[in-house]
Amino acid sequence: MKVILKETAARGLAQTIVKGVEQGGGSGYIRKEGRHLIIGLAGPRHAVNIEQIKAFEGVEAVVSLHHAFKLASREFCADSTVVQVGNVRVGDGNPVVIAGPCSVESRAQILEVARKVKASGAHMLRGGAFKPRSSPYSFQGLAEVGLKLLVEAREATGLPVVSEVMDPITLPMVAEYVDVLQIGARNMQNYHLLKQVGKTNKPVLLKRGLSATIEEWLMAAEYILSAGNPNVILCERGIRTFETYTRNTLDLNAVPVVKDLSHLPVLVDPSHGVGIAKYVPAMSMAAIAAGADGLIIEVHSDPASALSDGSQSLTPEVFARLMQRLAYSMLAREESAVVNS
C-alpha cells in the first residue's frame, strides 16, 4: 500500500504510521516524492489497518499496489532511486562502472589492477574475498586477508570497494571493510542472508539468481527493503538456458523491463553473463544502450594466470578501450528512447 501525506502533515506522522504497522509485523518505507512524503506499507493483512490510516488528518490518499513486490515497485515510487556510495551516485542517469578481478589474489595483483582501472575511469573496484566456487577444490578466496587488501587498494586509489558476502556469520566482518555488499547469484534466495543485509545500512549489489525470474529477483530485493535497507542495486548477470556456447545467457530484456517495474538502479555484469572475454565489450555496450545504470566488469592484468574466471576477464588495456567507447552506447540509449516517445 502507498500512503501519500499532505504537505501540511504533522511532523512525525510518517514514523507514527510505520511504527503501528511494524507492531503488527509489517514493514514501512518512508521516502520523498516531489514535495510529498510517501510511505510504502507491506506485510500481513492484519498489520495494515487502512481505515485507521485514512483517518489521520495528514493523510492525502491511500493507494493499493498490485505487484507482489511492493516497496521495490515503481508503482510505489515513480522517482528512480539513487544509491550513494561514497562520492559515487548509482542510478542518477550517468552509468557507473565497477571493475576489478574476480578474486583478490595478492597485494601486488589488486593494487596494480585498481590503479589501472581507476586510470581508465572506473568508479568502483570489485574483488572477491569469499568465493562461491562450483568445486570445493578451486580457490576459495583470501577471506579477511583479501578484504584488508581491498581496503589498501581503496586507500591507494580512492575507489569504493565491492565484495561478496556469502553468509550471515561473516556479514559483520565483510560489512566492516567494504563499501558495497555483493549478494551473489547463488545466494539470491538465501532469505536469511537477505534479511541480515537488510538490517545494515550498506549499499547492496543484488545479483539475479542463476534461474530466477524477474519477479523472484524483485522479491529478493523486497526482503532487503522491507528489513529497512533502502540501498539496493540490482545486477543482471545472465541466466541459465539451454545454450552451451556461452557460460550464461545475458538477459538484456531484463534491463528495460526492470527499469519499468522498479525504481531501483540496475547494473549489468557482462563478464558472468557471457563468460568469454572477447564478447564482453559488445555486451557491455549493448547493456548501456539498453538503459543499464552501469556495469560490473572483471579485469585482470594476466587473465591466463587468474585464480578464478580468467577466461572472462578483460586485460586493463581492453578495458581502457571499452571505457573510451561507452559514450557511443549512451547515444544509442538516447535514440532508442526517442522511438517510443
Binding site residues, ligand PEP, CB under 6 A: 102, 128, 132, 184-186, 207, 237, 269, 272
By the rule CB under 5 A, 309 interacts with Mn ion? yes
**At its nearest, how many Å lie between ligand PEP and the CB of residue 237?**
4
Give the nearer residue to Mn ion in terms of CB position, either 102 or 122: 102
Residue 42 interacts with, from Mn ion, ligand PEP, none (CB under 5-8 Å by kind):
none
Residue 237 interacts with, from ligand PEP, Mn ion, none (CB under 5-8 Å by kind):
ligand PEP
**At its nearest, how many Å lie between ligand PEP and the CB of residue 207?**
4
Give the nearer residue to ligand PEP in terms of CB position, either 6 or 202: 202
**At its nearest, how many Å lie between Mn ion and the CB of residue 312?**
7
Give the nearer residue to ligand PEP in terms of CB position, either 95 or 209: 209
**At its nearest, how many Å lie between Mn ion and the CB of residue 256?**
25
Burial class (CB in 10 A: 0-12, 13-18, 19+), 305: exposed
Q: Residue with C-alpha cell 504537505?
A: 7
**At its nearest, how many Å lie between ligand PEP and the CB of residue 184?**
3
Q: What is the largest CA-CA distance in the chain?
A: 66
Dihedral sign for Cα atoms in the order 312, 315, 321, 324: positive
Side chain identity, residue 48: V
Give the nearer residue to ligand PEP in terms of CB position, either 222 or 309: 309
Give the nearer residue to Mn ion in terms of CB position, either 102 or 252: 102
Residue 308 C-alpha cell reads as: 578464478
Give the interface size with Mn ion as a residue count (CB under 5 A): 2
Tell me the window of 58-66, 180-188, 226-234, 302-310 that interacts with Mn ion (CB under 5 A).
Answer: 302-310
By the rule CB under 5 A, 102 interacts with Mn ion? yes
**At its nearest, how many Å lie between ligand PEP and the CB of residue 224?**
16
Residues that bind Mn ion (CB under 5 A): 102, 309
